């Protein structure tokens, strides 16, 4: 038997594996509600965000159903082979990484961004407004905003890292989390936080910019960790849609 590559197991995957085993052994009956996240976190000795990511992973696999305002319910097994969700970064872990990196980039931007670049940040927020007004998730404007702050560093490695971390929201785990918690209201709050970051950068205060960005990403994290049992379900008719993917231009041979 050939040697298999050893892959480090992320905490949320270890939690998901343990909960999956309990479900497969029938510890929780089909249709029953799992214990609240707080109780599971205490029993497992881990944080609530890690439990949240594990539960969302199990939902992606079709083992449980998240019912906002009610809780997590066990679904009946099906005959189709299940694909365990591996490889994706935990979305909450990603936000934490962004908080560390982008807070420093905002502080740097406050010292080095030119007026035209700050105007570019305002244009990015305006694009977010347009997307929301059209009933879309404000992904493109949001990505542009954070990319432009990274670009002020004039460091291609940092620009790439910020872009890659931001694009992690398109993995199945993050998209499932987004479907439950991102609403027009949450995006309007994010826009206000972006404007606070711009004001801090324009004031040329590195510490104010660092704090504003850290607060924005902390709030983003907290919006994703609101209690499922107390959160109101989102009306399907009011759900925001992701923007259509941009078509790549086809180069013709000369």
Distance CA 138, CA 191 (A): 9
Q: List the one residue out of 147, 139, 138 whose CA is nearest residue 105.
A: 147
The predicted pLDDT at position 157 comes to 98
Distance CA 18, CA 1 (A): 27
> Higher pLDDT residue, 8 or 137?
137
- The single residue listed with the structure tokens 């940092």 is 158
Distance CA 240, CA 132 (A): 8
Q: List the one residue out of 239, 219, 223 whose CA is nearest residue 231.
A: 223
**Cα torsion through 240, 87, 66, 68, rounded to 10:** -40
Distance CA 31, CA 35 (A): 13
Distance CA 248, CA 181 (A): 31
pLDDT band at 249 (very low <50, low <70, confident <90, very high): very low
The predicted pLDDT at position 175 comes to 92
- The single residue listed with the structure tokens 């982008």 is 102
Residue 243 has pLDDT above 50, yes or no: yes
Sign of torsion over alpha carbons 65, 68, 70, 72 = positive
Say if residues 110 and 239 touch (Cβ distance below 8 Å): no
DSSP-based helix, strand, coil % in the chain, nearest 5:
60, 5, 35
Instruction: Quick: pLDDT tens for 14-36.
Output: 999 999 999 999 999 999 999 99
Give the residues across from 72 on adjacent strands: 66
Instruction: Quick: pLDDT tens for 100-155.
Output: 999 999 999 999 999 999 999 999 999 999 999 999 999 999 999 999 999 999 99
Residue 165 has pLDDT above 70, yes or no: yes
The predicted pLDDT at position 194 comes to 98
The two three-digit tokens of residue 143, written as one number: 């990505």
Residue 235 has pLDDT above 90, yes or no: no
* CA angle (115, 116, 117) in 5-degree steps: 90
Q: Whats the size of the chain, residue-wise?
A: 254
pLDDT band at 252 (very low <50, low <70, confident <90, very high): very low
The CATH class of 11-74 is mainly alpha
Least confident of 2-6, 22-26, 166-170: 2-6
What is the three-class DSSP state of 119? Answer: helix
pTM above 0.85, yes or no: no
The predicted pLDDT at position 80 comes to 47
Distance CA 147, CA 245 (A): 18
The predicted pLDDT at position 78 comes to 74
Q: Residue 212: which region, alpha, beta or left (left: phi > 0; alpha: psi -120 to 50)?
A: alpha
- Percentage of the chain beyond pLDDT 90 is 72
The two three-digit tokens of residue 125, written as one number: 């927020």
Every domain of the chain and the residues it spans = 11-74, 91-231
> Higher pLDDT residue, 228 or 171?
171
Q: State the greatest distance between any 2 C-alpha atoms of the chain, in Å, as a whole number.
A: 65
pLDDT band at 88 (very low <50, low <70, confident <90, very high): low
Residue 41 has pLDDT above 80, yes or no: yes
Distance CA 106, CA 205 (A): 10
pLDDT band at 185 (very low <50, low <70, confident <90, very high): very high
Superfamily of domain 91-231: GntR ligand-binding domain-like (1.20.120.530)
The predicted pLDDT at position 226 comes to 84
């Amino acid at each position: 038997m050939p040697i298999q590559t050893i892959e480090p197991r992320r905490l949320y995957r270890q939690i998901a594996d343990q909960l999956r085993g309990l479900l497969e052994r029938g510890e929780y009956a089909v249709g029953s509600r799992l214990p609240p996240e707080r109780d599971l976190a205490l029993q497992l000795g881990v944080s609530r965000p890690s439990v949240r990511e594990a539960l969302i992973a199990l939902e992606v696999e079709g083992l449980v159903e998240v019912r906002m305002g009610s809780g997590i319910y066990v679904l009946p097994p099906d005959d189709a082979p299940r694909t365990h969700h591996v490889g994706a970064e935990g979305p909450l872990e990603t936000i934490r990484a962004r908080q560390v990196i982008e807070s420093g980039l905002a502080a740097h931007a406050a010292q080095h961004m030119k007026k035209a670049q700050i105007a570019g940040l305002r244009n990015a927020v305006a694009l977010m407004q347009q997307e929301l007004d059209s009933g879309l998730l404000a992904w493109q404007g949001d990505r542009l905003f954070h990319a432009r702050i990274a670009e002020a560093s004039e460091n291609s490695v940092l620009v790439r890292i910020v872009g890659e971390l931001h694009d992690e929201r398109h993995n199945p785990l993050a998209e499932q989390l987004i479907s439950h918690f991102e609403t027009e209201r949450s995006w309007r709050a994010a826009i206000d936080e972006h404007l606070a970051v711009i004001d801090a950068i324009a004031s040329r205060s590195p510490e104010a910019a660092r704090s504003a960005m850290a607060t924005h990403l902390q709030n983003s994290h907290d919006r994703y960790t609101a209690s499922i049992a107390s959160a109101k379900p989102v009306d399907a008719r009011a759900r925001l849609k992701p923007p259509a993917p941009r078509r790549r231009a086809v180069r013709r041979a000369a």
